[in-house]
């Protein structure tokens, strides 16, 4: 029982800390303007144009930190604060999303694999726990638990593949904003802090998913 409580505390604390870290870091550097005085939208447009991606639109999207790149519509979407404000955080986030657009252009293999797994991950995430709960509470149907574990494993694979995609996008983002002179040398360190904090949320999600998958596998093996 004690071990389970420790496990439960870990899978709760890790994501909460990651969310706290990204929000506090973003809040701090969203108040610090860049010396270039460019909004996130302007930063995104500048990087896109410099990489021959003039056809990709930069659009404002509602929500807090709802920034993303849509590979289907070939468009970069920035939350209101990042779209309009001239902050270090906004520049870093905008550059990161453009990093995904650059990945798409060059055919980055991990991004292609993640896109291919999206429908599988969507289906598995909806069905996995249904099979798992039936398999756990109806002991006469052990195969349901196994099916649930397999479905969950597909979702875990998706989250693991997401890690190199996000880290690579951040690396491309830093290369672009530095080489194009969109931030100063002192701002480069701050921009990295923003991107590293954001990356922690993906690492935390993947870690929790792996831990939960391992726990379910152990339950299945012990039952056998």
Supply the angle between the helices 2-29 and 185-223 in degrees, to the nearest 10: 160
Token pair for 82: 């990042």
Copy the structure tokens of residue 153.
Answer: 């494993």
Alpha carbon distance 86, 78 (integer Å)? 13
**CA dihedral over 178, 180, 186, 192, signed as positive or negative:** negative
Rounded to whole angstroms, what are the CA distances from 32 to 81, 86, 186?
13, 8, 12
The pair of structure tokens assigned to 79 is 């939350």
Classify the phi-psi angles of 32: left when phi > 0, otherwise alpha if psi is within -120 to 50, otherwise beta.
beta
Taking phi over 0 as left and psi of -120 to 50 as alpha, with beta for the rest, 13 belongs to alpha
- Token digits for 23? 């929000």
97 is catalytic: yes
Q: What is the DSSP letter of 65?
A: S
CA atoms within 13 A on the CB side of 207: 16
Among residues 97, 166, 176, 187, which one is catalytic? 97
- Active site members: 97
């Amino acid at each position: 029982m004690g071990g389970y409580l420790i496990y439960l505390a870990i899978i709760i604390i890790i994501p909460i800390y990651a969310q706290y870290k990204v929000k506090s870091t973003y809040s701090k550097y969203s108040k610090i303007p860049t010396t270039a005085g460019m909004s996130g939208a302007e930063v995104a447009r500048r990087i896109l144009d410099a990489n021959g991606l003039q056809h990709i639109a930069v659009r404002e999207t509602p929500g807090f930190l709802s920034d993303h790149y849509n590979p289907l519509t070939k468009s970069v979407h920035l939350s209101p604060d990042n779209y309009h404000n001239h902050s270090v955080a906004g520049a870093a986030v905008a550059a990161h999303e453009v990093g995904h657009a650059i990945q798409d252009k060059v055919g980055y293999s991990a991004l292609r694999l993640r896109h291919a797994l999206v429908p599988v991950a969507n289906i598995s995430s909806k069905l996995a726990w249904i099979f798992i709960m039936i398999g756990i509470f109806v002991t006469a149907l052990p195969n349901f638990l196994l099916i649930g574990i397999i479905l969950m494993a597909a979702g875990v694979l998706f989250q693991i593949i997401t890690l190199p995609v996000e880290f690579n996008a951040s690396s491309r983002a830093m290369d672009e904003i530095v080489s194009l002179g969109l931030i100063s040398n002192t701002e480069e360190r701050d921009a990295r802090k923003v991107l590293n904090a954001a990356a922690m949320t993906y690492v935390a999600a993947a870690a929790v998913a792996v831990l939960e998958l391992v726990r379910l596998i152990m339950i299945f093996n012990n039952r056998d």
